[in-house]
Structure 1
Amino acid sequence: MAQGSSSVFNELRLKEELCDAVIRVQNEDFHVHRIILSGCSEYFRSLFTLSHPADQVYQINQMSPEIMQVIVEFAYMGSEEVNQQNVEELYIACDFFKVTGLMDACLRFMGEHLSKENCIDIWQLTETFICPTLNNDAFHFILQHFTEVCASSEFLKLSVQQLLKLIETDQLLVRDERTVFEAVLCWINHSPEERTTYISQILPKVRLALTTLDYIMTNVRNNKMVMCDTECQNTVLTAETLLNDAIFYSPGIYHPLARPRLPASILLAIGGQIKNDIPTNVIEAYDICADIWVNVTNTEEETRSHQGAVFLNGSVYCVGGHDGFNLLRGDSRFDLTTHTWHQVAPMTTRRCFVSITALNGLIYAIGGYDGQNRLNTAECYDPETDEWLSIAPMHERRSQASCTAFQGKVYICGGFSGYDFLSSAEYYSPESKRWTLIGPMSTGRCGLGVVALGEQIYAVGGNNDGVHLSLTEVYNPRTNSWHRVTPISSPRTNFGAEVVDGRLFVIGGYNGLNYISKVESYDPNTGEWSEVTSMGISRSDLSSCVVSGLNNMIDYAAPRDISLDHPRAFTDMPV
């Protein structure tokens, strides 16, 4: 309906002129024109067509007057008065009365406003009314925010089938499996007379062997519901056996009680140099939950070392570097959903040994080496415009430095100026568009790793005039000073450094004799480094980044889908 005619008909409605029907909802009358309501609703079209011509008043009991008002205004003016308070009731009414245009608006609104408070309601609603896309979105929202959602009163409204569907899913995001067990207890205790009988169905879906023996003995085995159920006692015994015997399986073969959940984030190690200084295009993905590296190389990508990498908006951007023959100016973007590489606009300057980070939706490429000079220049890439723009130069020329985004600024530390190994550090403020020097590190070094973790910045490893360092320093912005913490066990230069799940990881690099595959992680809570599984190949001058929020995270995680009938799986387990 044209805008002019719609306003005319609405004016007639408001004046109750030329109206030929009355919709009565809870004693409130809506004077309408049959032809207008028939144009937006199959229900009203059928109602008016099949009713006796003399009928003028139609009693409607399936909605409130407020919802009928929204539908009428949509029919006349095309207005979509959808909000958090009315969207679910409005959607149900639109589904019943076949007001498809407004029903679509409700679905869009719910999809755009999924929250920890409404995701379960939306999941249940779209399951009942068969809206597969939004139902899937709501389901994955619950999985990704399970810790917060299970603490809400809405969680207690789940059916047992819905609860089982959630907790048996690998994509359920929890840092600690104890969260799942305690959520189950809370759900049962909300209605114990009805729900206690489900404990034997639910407990095997909790991956108890991912907790600890002490937790099982103290909190699970002695639980009254568990003690009174023979099947639950067998489940607990199996979990204890798995933990006691420290049983490990080949990748992809897990007992159901020990099967790792999918991680919230995946660490990628990209390119670099391998034996004989040959650049590689190998990409490995580290699954922190399974402690396994997986080769996810895409052969479309060119070989590249000394480059930078950053994750932004579902893609990995590889910037600068060297292909073994030439310095690279062209940059590429790997779409993690489609597994395809795309060329993006090249930087204004060729840079290898470049420092890369992302801040506020932009990518910063800082310093590096252009084949002749170490650089103090920097530039910024906007993916929206596919354009690089120069920003203010640094105070120092820096190649083989390292940078990180921290508290709304870009910090860069160390590097090689062409003459000196730098201990200086500085930050760039996008607001002031200026670089500011901060307190220097205790030791000049290049090839180091710099990351933000918690409220501080960590600088790890590096090289000072041929000496490869294990030194780890921490910058406190409140005091503008550095202090040393526990050093890494393996000195290294030109490695990857990233934060995953609150821990600092250092990956690969060069130790003065060999390229290495060794990986270590630092826990700021204990102040200690520990080894994790090494990469599949030894390499230096690699880049790294952490990816998260992917619907296809399983594509980059360790395999978990080998058949449970595999001959090597679960031998000698109690039943």
Structure 2
Amino acid sequence: MGEEGTSSAKSNFDRDKAEKMVRKMASSAVNELLQRTELCDVVIKVEGDRFNAHKIILCSCSEYFCALFTGAWANPKKKSYIIPGVSPAMMRLIIDYAYTQNVDVTEDNVLELLAAADQFLVSGIVQRCCFFLEDQLCLSNCIGIWRLMHFYHLPRLTHKVFLFILQHFDEIIAVSQEILELSVQQLSAIIEHDHLNVRRESTVFETILHWISHQPDQRRGQIFELLSEVRLGLMTAIYLQDVVKENALIKDSAKCVSIIDAAVAKFMDLRCKSSKPDYSDRLSRPRLPSSILLVTGGKNARNAATGLDAYDARADCWVPIRAGEIRRNHHGAALLGGFMYVIGGRNRGIQLNTAMKFDLVNRTWHPVMPMNCCRDHVCVAVQNGCIYALGGFSDDLYHNSVERYTPETDQWTMVAPMHTKRSSASAATLRGKVYVCGGYNGTRSLTLAERYDPNTNQWTVIPNMRSSRRGLGIAAYKDLIYAIGGTSSGSIHLRTVETYNPDTDRWRNAPSMCCARSFFGLEVMEEQLIVVGGFGGTAAMLTVERYDDDVGMWLRASDMETPRSGQSCCVLHGLHGVMEDLFHCGSPTMPTVVEAAGGST
């Protein structure tokens, strides 16, 4: 910015500052007049209490008083008004706000104050009550706040609370009984919604039964209306036949029995055809995921450029994302601040120091500041709102250096180096620390592991893994660090798994994967470990596995469309519009994302 621009900005700042000071002084002066009851031209009477005020001040903050004092039927000579439907305490708060622009919103007064502010059209107080309710929003009160919103026109707050209910439905029904007080229309609005976040559709059916049992005489006749909103096709045939169909309420309704039979037939049809989810069929359309696994880049034998794919763990299906081809492999990927970042790696044999971010809403790529050095076979982790890029190699030089990216400043900063030079390692965060395990130092695969404390900028060596691993994946899962797969040499690929417990400072063996693999994608989603693709020793893989600690075994999931090795993964949470676009509308292809040779964007 030139001197003229700087001078103009300073002038605007000074003018705004002066205007605020003038308004503050004027407010203080008028408030002093009120305290001395000087020049007051109106008396507000509420339940026997009298409040002196100035008409012009009340008009400035309340459309109600403006209409009362200046409307077509107003009497300019009238000085006394009896105001019904409000308590003296609330009127005092409203009048004080008119003079000071301040109001103390508390848990004890927020509901009455919101009602009074809405009655007198004091938008400033309404807004502050909304902010207070947003800050207080939790599992135990969200239903009550949402029901309250039906009495007001507050679309922003209503939408936010409703999304909170949808997102946390499983948790809400476990701790709150407020859902039993909903009307049938309100309950229906929740359970019919695509964004309802439930791990099992049976939860929705059981919630309906619980709601009916709260007032059985009045509600039993509404079973069909609510059952029609359940995605019955997502339940198992056994559950539908043995639990749902055998329920007394269902048996008493021929229409309910008919819809259950249709759901069983649909389930069997999908199972026989092994077809993908049908998003056009209301009966079996999966709920939109609350989180998706994003897979970026990688390569296979035929193609060094791959697109961006999304995996919905609940529907067990893959969807391509309109993002163009990503010509990177052995890079890092991270989600931060609503953007997906891809960092370092290589493109057609060229080692990269570049990083780019992808706007998931607008589907556009943007370059960010390059790293201080090229990092092929890099690993990344996110902690405290920053991205850490660890190790890697360039020009046969193996790095122990670490860089930290701060999105607010778009800058990479060198932090304390690791104790060990390593590429093809993997990193994860747990309890505020960054862990890095395994890798390759140019001579051998490593068992070495260490952790970084961002608060002290220091690395601490932890016990070695039981197996040397490069091209491994590590993840923080169930308060442990999982080290998975990799290769102990160029030809021995591993399917073994081991876990590190920070409390005991020990590694122990865990159930092995179904397939040996290295250079795969790994993330935690839906309380499961998800392993994607990789290299199996002869070719890139398209197989996917998932591990649930509650079950204690690895299970196969739907394969990717394209084999990948050297890809990277991250998990996207929220962004409801993105989820809806991806899983209900399809996604055409965009042009290739091309990076110039030499590592520049």
1:534 is paired with a residue of what secondary structure?
Answer: coil
* 2:58 counterpart (26, 37, 52): 37
Residues 330-371 of structure 1 deviation map (CA, whole Å, 9 limit, x = unaligned): 211112222222222221221111110111211111111122
Query: Which residue of the other structure, out of 507, 520, 523, is the alignment partner of 1:498?
Result: 523
Q: How far, CA to CA, are the matches of 1:131 and 1:103 in structure 2?
A: 9
Match of 1:140 in 2: 163
**Deviations for 1:220-241, whole angstroms, at most 9, x for unmatched residues?**
3333322222212222333344
Cα distance in 2, alignment partners of residues 325 and 495 from structure 1: 19
Correspondence 1:478 to 2:513: no
CA distance in 1, matches of 2:286, 2:308: 22
Taking the aligned partners of 2:149 and 2:77, their CA distance within structure 1 comes to 39
In the alignment, what sits opposite 1:388?
Answer: 412
Shift of 1:285: 0.5
Change (3 A) 1:59 1:219: farther
The residue that corresponds to 2:332 in the other structure is: 308
Match of 1:570 in 2: none
RMSD of aligned Cα (Å)? 2.2
- CA gap 1:251/1:219 in 2 versus in 1, 3 angstroms: closer
Structure 2: tracts of 5 or more residues without a match: 1-21, 587-601
Q: What residue in structure 1 maps to residue 360 of structure 2? A: 336
Return the alpha-carbon distance in structure 2 between the equivalents of residues 521 and 150 of structure 1.
Answer: 27
> How many Å separate the matches in 2 of 1:105 and 1:14?
25
Contact 1:208 1:258 in 2 (8 A): yes
- Partner amino acid, structure 1, of 2:363: H
Is contact 2:438–2:445 with CA below 8 Å preserved after alignment?
yes
Rounded to whole Å, the distance in 1 between the matches of 2:248 and 2:48 is 54
Match of 2:213?
A: 189
Whether the 8 Å CA contact 1:355–1:400 is kept in 2: the answer is: yes
The answer to whether the 8 A contact 2:311-2:318 is kept is yes
Aligned pairs for 1:275-290 within 5 A: 275-276=301-302, 278-290=303-315
| Contact 2:485/2:494, CA 8 A, preserved across alignment | yes
Shift of 1:7: 1.2
Q: What TM-score, normalized by structure 2, do the two folds share?
A: 0.88
Distance in 2 (CA, whole Å) between partners of 1:229 and 1:555 is 34
Alignment of 1:236-385 (within 5 A): 236-243=260-267, 246=271, 248=273, 249-253=275-279, 255-276=281-302, 278-299=303-324, 302-385=326-409
Letter paired with 2:24 = Q
Q: Indicate conservation of the 8 Å contact 2:277/2:284, yes or no.
A: no
**Alignment of 1:488 onto 2:509:** no
Equivalent pair of 1:302/1:323 in contact (CA under 8 Å): no
Q: How many residues align?
A: 559
Instruction: Return the letter of the residue paired with 2:523.
Output: E
- Overall identity of the aligned pairs, in %: 41
In structure 2, C-alpha distance between the alignment counterparts of 1:280 and 1:96, rounded to whole Å = 61
Cα distance in 1, alignment partners of residues 305 and 322 from structure 2? 10
Corresponding residue for 1:436? 460
Q: Which position in structure 2 is the counterpart of 1:565?
A: none
Give the letter for the 1:146 counterpart.
F
Is 2:420 aligned against 1:399? no
Of residues 17, 20, 39 in structure 2, which corresponds to 1:18?
39
Residues 85 and 342 of structure 1, relative CA distance in 2, 3 Å threshold: farther
CA distance change for structure 1 residues 517 and 187 in 2, over 3 Å: closer, same or farther? same
1:135 Cα deviation from its structure 2 partner: 2.3
Residue number in structure 2 paired with 1:518 = 543
Q: In structure 1, how many angstroms separate the alpha carbons of the residues matched to 2:92 and 2:383?
A: 46
**1:440-464, CA deviations, whole angstroms, 9 ceiling, x for partnerless residues?**
1112121011111102111111112
Q: Provide Cα deviations, 1:172-209, integer angstroms capped at 9, x if missing partner.
A: 00112222122212222222232221111111212234
Using the size of structure 1 for normalisation, the TM-score is 0.92
Q: Deviations over 1:487-525 (max 9, x none)?
A: 222211111011111111111111111111111111212
Deviations along 1:239-263, one digit per CA (max 9) or x if unpaired, are: 3444456455444356533322122
1:115 and 2:138 aligned:
yes
| Distance change in 2, residues 1:345/1:512 (3 Å) | same
Q: Which residue of 1 aligns with 2:17?
A: none
Rounded to whole Å, the distance in 2 between the matches of 1:85 and 1:53 is 37
Q: Is the 8 A contact 2:300 2:565 kept in 1?
A: yes
Counterpart-to-counterpart distance in 2, 1:64 and 1:322: 70
